[in-house]
Homo-oligomer: A and B are copies of this chain.
């Protein structure tokens, strides 16, 4: 194990060896293995946005095996998906790529101001499918947040006792938060803090903007001149807000955009001390070759081979 991975694992001092081993497996797998950086392929858009919106741009993606193969070919650290997609390849791709079972999901057929994800699989499902971690989404700011927090508590407790790692998607949403507020720096840093306080090993947040949403927080940012002007500074603040850089925080890029713009975001994550990216639509909605090349560049940036 590299010194960096040893260091990262040392932060999870309260966990049992099983969980620590599974965090290490995530950090040691794939092209970035051992660097302490991660690129994860998540494919839950079929559930979240529907099949055609997700896979019509690159129809091989309708096939669950495609995504296992893409994650393997591109050298990702892990592949994350809901129950059905994982069940459909866990045996065929046995031990080829660390798997993260996404335990809750939300579809777009019903629109709620204060969303609540449905728990669609379990820690025991993750175990029987050979996963290294469970994934769980919380929506801080939703009036249903308490339900999701308490579901997460139960799941995290069970996962930790059974030697799995816990990955939390922390996405602020709800009737008290503006659209801009969902990616506001104060809100994203707060969302990362909540996930960390709830015991997440790996935290996934959106790349934040320089917007400040909460009046009380705004005062503090201004009074103490917290540096949040550049994307890298904001990444640094989010990572600092996650136990002073002692929790693995990765960032998602959201909807497809221009490649250069995307690579700049990756540079910001790298330069701000972020731990990596979770890249869904920007990879699997391209044809396989393009996706491979695209992820190659992303990993090159994280490796520092591409400035």
Instruction: Name A's B-contacting residues (CB within 8 A).
Output: 11-15, 46-47, 49-53, 55-57, 59-60, 62-64, 66, 82-92, 105, 107-112, 114, 116-122, 124-125, 128-129, 140-143, 145-146, 149-150, 153, 157, 172, 174-177, 186-187, 189-194, 196-200, 214, 216-217, 219-221, 223-224, 226, 237, 240-241, 243-244, 246
Q: Could you tell me if A122 and B157 are in contact, using CB atoms closer than 8 angstroms?
A: yes
Q: Could you tell me if B118 and A241 are in contact, using CB atoms closer than 8 angstroms?
A: no
Q: How far is the CA of A141 from the CA of B150 in the complex (A)?
A: 22
Chain B residues with CB under 8 A of A120: 149-150, 153, 197-198
Question: Can you spell out 11 A-B residue pairs with CB atoms less than 8 angstroms apart?
Answer: A13-B92, A50-B214, A51-B189, A52-B221, A55-B241, A56-B224, A66-B244, A84-B198, A88-B246, A110-B114, A121-B157
Contact A50-B146, Cβ < 8 Å, known A140-B107, A224-B57: no
A52-B224, A53-B217 given. 17 additional CB < 8 A pairs?
A13-B88, A13-B90, A14-B88, A15-B87, A46-B193, A52-B217, A59-B240, A62-B243, A62-B244, A63-B243, A64-B244, A82-B198, A108-B214, A109-B141, A109-B177, A117-B146, A120-B153
